[in-house]
Structure 1
Amino acid sequence: MEITNINTFLDYYGKIRERTNRLIAVIPPEYMDWAYRPGKFTIADQIRHIAAIERYMFAETILGKPCSYSGCGKELADGYNEIIGYFNEKHEEALAILKKLSNDDLQRKCLTPANTPITVWKWLRAMTEHEIHHRAQLYIYLNLLDVKTPPMFGLSSEEIIQNSRLK
């Protein structure tokens, strides 16, 4: 689906972020440094990664600048409040850049970190897919830790079955 209107996209992307924020809000602070296996992203790494990629890869390349993503380690933010603050700060910085785009800008090309030209609207779509991908990983992490997670769209699978007319 082609993105042709920046304001419509920003509204959609805001809803994506609302779902991510609802999930992040249930993360117990004591689990921020947990990973399912040594050497894999921790919960905190996942959150920092979403933030840093959004700001330093997607937003920078849309501006015509080279990607400046340098990782998602503790040096960016350490501690529950600092991580959440970093996440929100980088999102606001990226939004400030995206809000300056015109509808015509959506049709121009930018260069990915692999130096591949891509239409800006397709790059924005990739940005949303990236966040959704990492949010799904956070759901799995939290389920492994027996943390109750919010349903994505208001009802859980069990509630949908319970309310189904096909009982």
Structure 2
Amino acid sequence: MSIIKLLLKEIEQEAQTTRNLLSIVPNDKYNWQPHPKSMSVMKLTNHIAELPGWLTMAVTTDGLDFAANPYEPTFFSNTADVLEVFENQLADGRANLEAMSETELEKPWILRSGDYVLSAMTKYETIRMTLAQTIHHRAQLGVYLRLLNIPIPGSYGPSADELEEMKHYA
């Protein structure tokens, strides 16, 4: 199987897990944050929803300069809008990755702020970093939801909530 097909398979698997978690965020919890230094639920869910857009950037550009292109996040305070952003970014990222050639994966991609280089990776490594960031922030959201006493779905197997529910049927 080609590297691009393997990446697309992994992206879809992670997208389903992300979709499952984003879909259970209650609309009345978007302003909640667990600590003053932590992101609010709104900032975190919106960031997670925008992350698949980095797939498109990795594939269609040679990098991103924050000094020349300041980051302007979106802020939606309801689950339906967050999911729509996620699905649109994901569809665009997948389409661009599907159109890419394997040799392009080896090309460099630089993240910078002016002259300060934040990271220098290949396009492949940038795609993998995007997946890692999604998984990382999704785990943060899982902790937030747990602190809010909201049962969470499993990621790579059943969650404690799902195992507890299974015991009732055993």
The bucket for the TM-score relative to the shorter chain is 0.7 to 0.9
Give the Cα–Cα distance (whole angstroms) in 2 for the partners of residues 17 and 111 of structure 1: 25
Normalised TM-score (structure 1):
0.78
Q: Contact (CA 8 Å) 1:47, 1:87: kept in 2 or not?
A: no
Correspondence 1:100 to 2:99 = yes
Give the Cα–Cα distance (whole angstroms) in 2 for the partners of residues 78 and 138 of structure 1: 15
Q: Contact (CA 8 Å) 1:20, 1:135: kept in 2 or not?
A: yes
Kindly, what percent of the aligned residue pairs are identical?
Answer: 20
SS in 2 for 1:112: strand
Correspondence 1:70 to 2:36 = no
Cα distance, 1:44 vs structure 2: 2.1
Q: Contact (CA 8 Å) 2:51, 2:134: kept in 1 or not?
A: no
Classify 1:92/1:52 alpha carbon distance in 2 versus 1 (closer, same or farther; 3 Å). Answer: same
Give the Cα–Cα distance (whole angstroms) in 2 for the partners of residues 78 and 146 of structure 1: 19
Cα distance, 1:39 vs structure 2: 5.7
Give the Cα–Cα distance (whole angstroms) in 2 for the partners of residues 40 and 72 of structure 1: 16
SS in 1 for 2:127: helix
1:54-113: CA deviation from partner (whole Å, max 9, x where unpaired) = 31x453243225435614352xx3433222212221222222222211222222222223
Classify 1:29/1:10 alpha carbon distance in 2 versus 1 (closer, same or farther; 3 Å). Answer: same
Amino acid at match of 1:31: K
Match 2:152 to one of 125, 149, 152 = 149
Amino acid at match of 1:27: V
Give the Cα–Cα distance (whole angstroms) in 2 for the partners of residues 89 and 118 of structure 1: 25
Deviation >6 Å, runs of 4+ = none
Q: Contact (CA 8 Å) 1:29, 1:80: kept in 2 or not?
A: yes
Classify 1:72/1:106 alpha carbon distance in 2 versus 1 (closer, same or farther; 3 Å). Answer: same
Normalised TM-score (structure 2):
0.77
Give the Cα–Cα distance (whole angstroms) in 2 for the partners of residues 38 and 115 of structure 1: 26
Amino acid at match of 2:120: P
Deviates more, 1:78-87 or 1:128-137: 78-87
Cα distance, 1:34 vs structure 2: 1.5
Return 5+ residue gaps in structure 1 as ranges.
Answer: none
Amino acid at match of 2:56: A
SS in 1 for 2:56: helix
Matched residue pairs, number? 157
Q: Contact (CA 8 Å) 2:59, 2:123: kept in 1 or not?
A: yes
Cα distance, 1:51 vs structure 2: 3.0
Alignment RMSD: 2.8
Aligned partner of 2:136 in structure 1 is 133
Q: Contact (CA 8 Å) 1:4, 1:106: kept in 2 or not?
A: no
Give the Cα–Cα distance (whole angstroms) in 2 for the partners of residues 10 and 127 of structure 1: 13
